[in-house]
């Protein structure tokens, strides 16, 4: 029998629907970090991100068990779409309750060994640039911040971004264009020297 960990997402879904709970555990393992970071980047609150993360997988399980998932090789986009919808619901709820979260976290989502140039000085420069970029991204409107995150930190195509967010590719591209323009404007206003090309 094929090693279960090497199976495709859709094969694991089928196996899970036949009663193999470890198949869903493998799917959870595959996407938990990426999905949690996506949610956290948008909501900027660990507590809220954890709640939405758990609710995403509960909703996925319910949908799967109701037979409403279409096996088309896009489990990742499907589960991200569920998370996206729950994030939108959270924002609507906060807006209705007039709650504003200003939870500033020091988690470095942009931390990557590939950023290091080999010297402490260059690492310090890179760290400052990443901090500046994060600050600029955090000032963007939600829809623009989301597209920037999905494109540059999740490495999704504009088609995938459009599918997940439920907009056209042109809208996703437009949001990215405005995000870059806004980041340039904000950087100029704050005298931050960045190459945003």
Query: What is the C-alpha separation between 93 and 8, in angstroms, rounded?
Result: 36
User: What pLDDT, on the 0 to 100 scale, is given for residue 15?
Assistant: 92
User: What pLDDT, on the 0 to 100 scale, is given for residue 127?
Assistant: 66
User: What pLDDT, on the 0 to 100 scale, is given for residue 197?
Assistant: 39
Look at residues 129, 56, 111, 117 and name the one whose alpha carbon lies nearest to residue 86: 56
Query: What is the C-alpha separation between 37 and 156, in angstroms, rounded?
Result: 14
**Mean pLDDT value across residues 130-137:** 78
Domain annotation for the chain: domains and CATH numbers: 1-106 (1.10.1740.10), 108-197 (1.10.10.10)
User: What pLDDT, on the 0 to 100 scale, is given for residue 186?
Assistant: 84
Is pLDDT at 105 greater than 60 in this prediction? Answer: no
Mean pLDDT of the chain: 80
**Mean pLDDT value across residues 86-97:** 81
Angle 162-166-168 from CA coordinates, rounded to 5°: 50
User: What pLDDT, on the 0 to 100 scale, is given for residue 100?
Assistant: 44
Is pLDDT at 101 greater than 50 in this prediction? Answer: no
User: What pLDDT, on the 0 to 100 scale, is given for residue 196?
Assistant: 41
User: What pLDDT, on the 0 to 100 scale, is given for residue 184?
Assistant: 81
Q: Could you please report the per-residue DSSP string of 143-184?
A: HHHHHHIIIIIS---HHHHHHHHTS-HHHHHHHHHHHHHHHH
User: What pLDDT, on the 0 to 100 scale, is given for residue 119?
Assistant: 56
- List pLDDT tens digits, range 147-183: 988 888 788 888 889 899 999 988 988 898 888 888 8
User: What pLDDT, on the 0 to 100 scale, is given for residue 32?
Assistant: 92
């Amino acid at each position: 029998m094929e090693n279960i960990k090497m199976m495709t997402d859709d094969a694991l879904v089928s196996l899970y629907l036949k009663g193999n709970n470890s198949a869903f555990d493998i799917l959870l393992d595959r996407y938990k970090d990426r999905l949690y970071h996506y949610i956290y980047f948008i909501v900027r609150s660990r507590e809220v991100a954890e709640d939405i993360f758990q609710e995403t997988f509960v909703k996925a399980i319910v949908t799967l068990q109701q037979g409403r998932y279409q096996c088309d090789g896009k489990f990742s986009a499907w589960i991200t779409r569920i998370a996206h919808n729950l994030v939108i619901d959270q924002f609507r709820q906060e807006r209705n309750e007039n709650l504003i979260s200003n939870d500033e976290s020091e988690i470095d989502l942009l931390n990557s060994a590939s950023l290091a140039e080999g010297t402490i000085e260059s690492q310090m420069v890179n760290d400052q640039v990443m901090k500046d970029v994060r600050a600029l991204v955090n000032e963007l409107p939600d829809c623009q911040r989301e597209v920037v995150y999905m494109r540059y930190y999740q490495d999704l195509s504009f088609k995938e971004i459009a599918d997940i967010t439920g907009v056209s590719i042109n809208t996703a591209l437009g949001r990215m264009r405005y995000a870059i323009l806004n980041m340039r404007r904000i950087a100029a206003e704050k005298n931050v020297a960045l190459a945003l090309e």
